[in-house]
Amino acid sequence: MYVAARVDNDKCSGCKVCIFTCPDPNVIKLNKEAKIVAINEARCKGCGLCVVACPKKALNVSS
């Protein structure tokens, strides 16, 4: 089943590692004020590379 990545806002530190690791542009964006990332779920292919890269374990792709 296709599942888009989700962010746990409490864990995200806004470090942007997931943005550098996503193979698609503009799926993950940084919300500069809140210092957390936001995922465009409609565009995410659910590959999970960001999940593995995130140092804070703030992302997941399982439902």
Partner 1 sequence: MSKNIFRISPGFEDIMPDEYKELVESGPYGKDLGVSDMGTFKELLEEHPLCAGCGLALSLRLILASLPNPEDTVIVGSTGCSALAFPQVAVHNIHSLFGNQNAVASGLKRALKLRFPDKVKDVVVIAGDGATADIGLDMVMQSWFRSESITTIMLDNEAYANTGGQESGMTQQGAVMNMAPKGKNFPKISLPEIAREAGCSYVASISPAQPKRLEKMVRRAILTAREVGPSYVQIFSPCPTNYKFKPQETVSRIKQHQKEGHYQTKEYINTAAQEYLASIEEGKKNE
Q: Which residues bind partner 1 (CB under 8 A)?
A: 16, 19-30, 43, 45-49, 51-53, 61
Taking the complex as a whole, the smallest distance from the CB of residue 8 to partner 1 amounts, in Å, to 17
Taking the complex as a whole, the smallest distance from the CB of residue 35 to partner 1 amounts, in Å, to 13
Complex with partner 1: residue 11 or 29, whichever CB lies closer: 29
Taking the complex as a whole, the smallest distance from the CB of residue 11 to partner 1 amounts, in Å, to 18
HEC profile of the chain: CCCCCEECCCCCCCCCHHHHHCCCCCCEEEECCCCEEEECCCCCCCCCHHHHHCCCCCEECCC
- Length of the chain (residues): 63
